[in-house]
Amino acid sequence: MKKLINKIKQSGQKSVLVIGDVMLDEYVFGEVSRISPEAPVPVLKEQKREWSLGGAANVALNCSHIGCKVDLIGIVGNTDRPAQKLISILKQNRISIDGLVRSNDRVTTCKKRAISNGHQLLRIDSEDNKQLTKNEFLELSQKIDLLIKPEMIILVSDYAKGVLSKEVLSKIISTAKKRKCIVLLDPKGKEFNKYKGINYLKPNYKEFCLMLDSYGLSEKDSIIDNGKRICKLLSLDGLVITLGEKGIQFVSKDEDFSIPAYKKEVFDLTGAGDTVLAFLALGLSVKLPIKECLKLANHAAAVAVSHLKTYAVSLDELIDKNIDLSEKIYSDWALLKIELDWLKLEHKKIVFTNGCFDLLHSGHIHLLREAKKFGDILVVAINTDDSVKRFKGKDRPIKSLIERAKVMAAIGIVDYIVFFDQDTPRELIEYLNPDVLVKGGDYKKENIAGADFVLAHGGRVKVIDYQDGLSTSNLVFAAKRVTC
């Protein structure tokens, strides 16, 4: 998985277009301690509210979190509160709202859930699933013409709320074919002929069974045989059937294979299909074979369902750094920069600190803990052996560079380790361009190597006080005194 993720990251940022039913998910969390005297129902004492993107908006969020440049086409109410909240969250996550149609003829789809102790008590839906008005269709058509670019990946998320009519889908499919795009679609409802001509269809097993019923196919036949028949009927390049705990089954005219599910504790299945769609798109955008795309998507879905509420999975979460600590260590600056640039696309804040870290002590741990508080990702730059000797003397370092790096990698709060051979890390800082530069000691900011560069580029510089009496030199002196 590490090699696969690196290949994706090295390919650069990709543009995707998401089209479909956008929604807002609202969560009311509280405590239940009594039954209502009015009716035999629990009384929820509200403690907090949270909002998440749902439907096509959640697909867009997933794409944004894995570093894609995302445009979103859908319909929201013109003035209702859910529309305002949804647009606010989209903006916070740098998802373009230029493709949204503001309609006076329908409300924004909103699903409100009441939750206590991790259990959903009730869901209240507010929605319109009526046919599009003439003006809504014309505006959607204009957005489709404007935002579908040549050879892009298009994700279509159908929740049967009225946006993806037969006419709208026909417009999407014809425009995509003219511009040589790949279209992935998550279906809903019982009318499947309207999807004819898209590239990949992603039903869950229940939706797949509805398709069998719709076309008079028998469930007694295998998924593969029926899948091939549906691919032929709808002129599909492939059918991706999500099977929950059984994983994913892929079927096309030429091949078929299954991807077993990853074993993870499931907290909430909400939005798992959206995660599969987003990661499948990412894999296809970098021209991975379909099997590798689905392995990636399946792994991401396992991460998504292990969280409560809809959850946007990042690429970095698919790599378990505890398996091999050496995966944190980079000798090649260029490879680390690719990692950090991708994390910045996921809106992560990068913190940089540096030192020899010869004999690690509690003062170092204090510095690292305080540094991590200033951002999301902590990069520790370590002087090479030659660099240490030049300003510490020929007897230093006591421990080799590799030993120092291995010890540092074992510290959980450290995300990446990189080496530098120069007298100061200035060149490395200018190359990586971190958001926050942290230094331990009694330095003035203007005397810290690279501080002027970080500040000039909108970053911050922080100085952490050393803890009295804690230094590698003092430890060496004490050890020599004991041996004497």
Catalytic machinery residues: 274
Do 89 and 53 contact (CB within 8 A), yes or no?
yes
Both tokens of 169, joined, read: 């889908």
Within 8 A by CB and 6+ apart from 260, the residues are 246, 247
Task: Centre a 10 Å sphere on the Cβ of residue 80 and count the other Cβ atoms it contains.
Answer: 16
Q: Looking at the DSSP assignment, which residues form a beta bridge with residue 379?
A: 352, 416
Do 230 and 213 contact (CB within 8 A), yes or no?
no
Strand blocks (E) in 63-108: 69-77, 100-103
- Cα(95)–Cα(73) distance, rounded to whole angstroms? 11
307 burial level (CB within 10 Å; 0-12, 13-18, 19+): middle
With residue 301 as reference, give the H or E element that holds it: helix 290-305
Q: Name the residue with tokens 């090295």.
A: 10
- Cα(292)–Cα(4) distance, rounded to whole angstroms? 8
Within 8 A by CB and 6+ apart from 322, the residues are none
Task: Centre a 10 Å sphere on the Cβ of residue 10 and count the other Cβ atoms it contains.
Answer: 13
Round the CA-based radius of gyration of the chain to a whole number and report it.
Answer: 27
Task: Centre a 10 Å sphere on the Cβ of residue 164 and count the other Cβ atoms it contains.
Answer: 27
Both tokens of 346, joined, read: 């996921």
- Cα(24)–Cα(58) distance, rounded to whole angstroms? 9
DSSP-derived 3-state class of residue 67:
coil
Per DSSP, 165 falls in state: -
Strand blocks (E) in 21-81: 22-35, 42-55, 69-77
Within 8 A by CB and 6+ apart from 416, the residues are 328, 329, 330, 336, 339, 340, 377, 378, 379, 380
Do 212 and 190 contact (CB within 8 A), yes or no?
no
Which whole-number Å values give the CA distances from 29 to 115, 259, 265, 399, in the listed order?
5, 36, 21, 52
Within 8 A by CB and 6+ apart from 393, the residues are none
